[in-house]
Amino acid sequence: MALHLVVLIKVVPDGKEVFVDPVTFTLNRSMATNIINPADENALEAALQIKDKMDAKITVMTMAPPFAEPFLMECMSRGADEAVLISDRAVAGSDTYPTSLTVAAAIRKMGDVDIVFAGEKTSDSSTGHVGPGVAEFIGAELASYSRKVTYEDGYVIAERELENGVEEVRIPTPAVVTILTDSNDPRRATLRKKIDAMKKGIITWSLADINIPADWVGLRSSPTVVKKMLPFPRKDRKAEKIEKDKIPELIDNLVKAGVIKLEAE
């Protein structure tokens, strides 16, 4: 039977076009165009690479207002088989807790999901909560910080990039894998898949479709409180331009300061 892979995406403002307001320290997103969260593109690519090797169905899913539709279409144009948009006025203002809960309910509704892929974090809020949250709510194993994922007879093998090295884990399905930004090279859309996507269209689910009561979600059911935003403190660095003839002197000084060590040839 075909594997069922679900890829979670989020539409975010392009970080290159977001500015911090110098007075209020809030994010000014008004100039920004929307993009697929970069790590989510890598998550989709990781799923597509599994589909390249074996019989698999990929469902891409997001929770967002209808403006996210073209981005779901783009995912199908790259090779996802179907797209689900969870869209409901009641979810507005939800933080990562009700979001994970809602997404998990949608995954449970699908019933047959083997692996859930998500970006390790989003570029607009960087919490990294939703992937692990979904794993918790659906009772699946989790491999976070992954850069490479393969599937073998009911197990997911993930290469996890940690602070002190790389760890390879083997976990049973159903599993959730969160993928690091830039961990692969996302493929481009093709015309054939674009046409197919336009013919298929997008599946839209409301909260009622996934049996989530409206008072479980939204701003009121979100425990996160943003108290304050602060600018990142700038550190003035000492910089000095060294002319070519001063390089031996520089090396001497660095050796004396213990920054570098010269080895005999």
Partner 1 sequence: MSEFDAIVVGGGPAGSSAAMRLASAGHNVLLVEKADPPGSKNVSGGVLWGNDLEAVIPDWQKTAPVERYVKAKGVGFLTKESNIGLEFRSGLFDKNRAGHMVLRAKLDQWLVKKAKDMGAMVATGVTVDRVAFDKGKAIGVEQDGDIITSDCVILAEGANPRVAIDSGLREPLNDKDVAIGVKEVIKLSEKTVNERFNLRDKEGFAGEYVLGFLPDQVEAGGFLYTNKDTISAGVVISMKHLRENDRTYSFDIIEQFLEHPAIAPLVDGGSVEEYSAHMVQEGGIERVPKLYGNGYMIAGDAAGFSFSNGLVLQGMNYAIASGIAAADTFIEAKKGSGVSEESLAGYRKRLLDSYVLKDLYNFRGIDEVTWGRLPHRAMPNALEHIMKGLFIEQGVPKKHLYQLMTEALGESGIRTSEAVLEGYRMLRRM
Interacting residues with partner 1 (CB under 8 A): 74, 77, 188-192, 194-195, 198
Task: For partner 1, give the closer residue by CB, 132 or 186.
Answer: 186
Task: For partner 1, give the closer residue by CB, 79 or 98.
Answer: 79
Spatial separation of the C-alpha atoms in residues 141 and 139, rounded to whole Å: 7
Spatial separation of the C-alpha atoms in residues 253 and 264, rounded to whole Å: 18
DSSP string, 50-119: HHHHS-EEEEEEEES-GGGHHHHHHHHHHT-SEEEEE--GGGTT--HHHHHHHHHHHHHHH----EEEEE
Q: How far is CA 247 from the centre of its chain?
A: 45
Task: For partner 1, give the closer residue by CB, 74 or 120.
Answer: 74
Q: Are 66 and 85 in contact (CB under 8 A)?
A: yes
Q: How deeply is 165 buried, as exposed, middle or buried, from its count of CB atoms within 10 A (0-12, 13-18, 19+)?
A: exposed
Spatial separation of the C-alpha atoms in residues 3 and 33, rounded to whole Å: 34
The label of the residue with tokens 């279409």 reads 73
Minimal distance, residue 71 CB to partner 1, in Å: 12
Task: For partner 1, give the closer residue by CB, 29 or 194.
Answer: 194
Minimal distance, residue 148 CB to partner 1, in Å: 24
Minimal distance, residue 259 CB to partner 1, in Å: 43
Check whether the bond before 174 is cis (ω within 30° of 0): yes
Spatial separation of the C-alpha atoms in residues 82 and 216, rounded to whole Å: 27
Q: Which residues, at least 6 apart from 62, have a Cβ–Cβ distance to it below 8 Å?
A: 8, 9, 10, 11, 68, 71, 72, 84, 85, 86
Minimal distance, residue 192 CB to partner 1, in Å: 4
Task: For partner 1, give the closer residue by CB, 124 or 196.
Answer: 196
Minimal distance, residue 178 CB to partner 1, in Å: 27
Minimal distance, residue 74 CB to partner 1, in Å: 8
DSSP type of residue 220: G
Task: For partner 1, give the closer residue by CB, 198 or 219.
Answer: 198
Minimal distance, residue 36 CB to partner 1, in Å: 13
Task: For partner 1, give the closer residue by CB, 192 or 227.
Answer: 192
